[in-house]
Amino acid sequence: MRKTNRQLVLEWTEQSSIAQDQIQSALDVGGVLPKPSDWRGFLDKLLLYVGVLFTASGVVFFFAYNWDELGRFAKFALVQGAILVSLAVFWRQGLDKLSGKVSLMLAAIFVGVLLAVIGQTYQTGADPYELFAVWCALILPWAILARFDVLWMFWLLLLNLSVTLYYQVFGGLFGVLFAGEQMLWLLFAVNTLALLVWEYVVSRGAQRRKIRWMTRLLATVSGGLVSTLAIFNLLGAEFISLNLVGIAAWLVWMACAYYWYRHSVLDVYVLALGVLSVVAIVSVLLGRFLLDGQFHAVIALVIMSIVIIGLSASGAFWLRGVAKGESS
């Protein structure tokens, strides 16, 4: 992990390598403080994002109010008009401009509003998961067309919501008992697939590698889910006849993440996530063995504490080495 110029200037000032009265000049040389042109670009984006966020939220709130005075045709005309205006702005601005992409995102949000108005007007009796699933399907072509990370993230959020709501309604194929675990498996599959697709896409375009937040968010969700599944397995009632699929999936995930984010595309964040996951799994495994009455509770707790501290400290030592290797 490379340190930013800001971190370096602050660190060197703290170490007295830079005199306190020279820090402003050092910040200027390091390009830490934004220039007027940077401020203009920042304001431009802030106004666009916040303006669109407010407008989209306002439209959602308006239709959620379900105003009786407004006839059904007026409602449809309004929401379809909003979609058309957004698409017209997108058509005018084009895909290369941020405003064009954001307009398409706005249209995608309004599609959901349209579906809600249809449900509200005709009382279709559809379950909420159906609304999100249809919404996902309808805006998929736009997401593919826009190649806009925020829209993809929104799309994936809808898909996750749809899966979660489905399991809330039907409780899974094997009854309520396994519904939670089944849902986690499906969510894990969806988000891991998204991570794989994202990694494939970024491997084909160097510019997009800079968008680290997407990789990290997907890796956090996917890694978090597989760790939870492994913990579920470890805490299963019958330890001997343990269903090892969750643990196997966790091992495969960890091995792949280690190979990819250590040797192929270095990302210390994902490696740190892996270390935390190892600490959690080992702690649960130890707890399962040590706290079953064979050992005195005090001994068990001390062992667990020392193992957690040891593992996390070793992990941090390793991560620092990796980060240092990257920055040198």
Q: Which is nearer to other proteins, 155 or 185 (CB)?
A: 155
Nearer to other proteins by C-beta: 99 or 182? Answer: 99
Residue 268, φ and ψ in degrees, nearest 5: -65, -25
Nearer to other proteins, 181 or 267 (CB): 267
Residue 144 or 177 having the CB closest to other proteins: 144
- What sections of 204-296 are H helices per DSSP? 212-234, 245-258, 268-290
CA distance 16 to 9: 10
Binding to other proteins (CB under 8 A) within 70-109 occurs at 96-99, 101
Question: How many CB atoms sit inside 10 A of residue 279's CB?
Answer: 18
- Footprint on residues 262-321 left by other proteins (CB under 8 A): 268-269, 272-273, 275-276, 279, 283, 297-298, 301-302, 304-306, 308-317, 319-320
**Cβ-contact 264, 273 below 8 angstroms:** no
Q: How far is the CB of 163 from other proteins (least distance, A)?
A: 21
Closest distance to other proteins from the beta carbon of 175 (Å): 33
Per-position b or e across 167-198, b if 16+ CB within 10 A of its CB: beeebbeeeeeebebbbbbbbbebbbebbeeb
Distances (CA, A) of 324 to 94, 268, 275, 288: 42, 10, 17, 36
Site membership for other proteins, residue 5 (CB under 8 A): yes
Is residue 177 involved in binding other proteins (CB under 8 A)?
Answer: no
Other CB atoms within 10 Å distance of the CB of residue 259: 10
Confirm if 197 and 189 have CB atoms less than 8 A apart: no
Shortest CB 173 distance to other proteins, Å: 33
Helix (H, G, I), strand (E, B) or coil at 33: coil
In the complex, the smallest distance separating the C-beta of residue 5 from other proteins, rounded to whole angstroms, is: 6
Subset of residues 131 to 150 that bind other proteins, contact rule: CB under 8 A = 148
Of 200-259, which residues contact other proteins (CB under 8 A)?
Answer: 213
Q: For the CB of residue 32, give the shortest distance to other proteins in the complex, in Å.
A: 5
For other proteins (CB under 8 A), the number of binding residues is 94
Which one, of 146, 149, 150, 62, lies nearest residue 110 by Cα? 62
Q: Closest distance between other proteins and the C-beta of residue 319, in Å?
A: 5
Does position 13 interact with other proteins (CB under 8 A)? The reply is yes
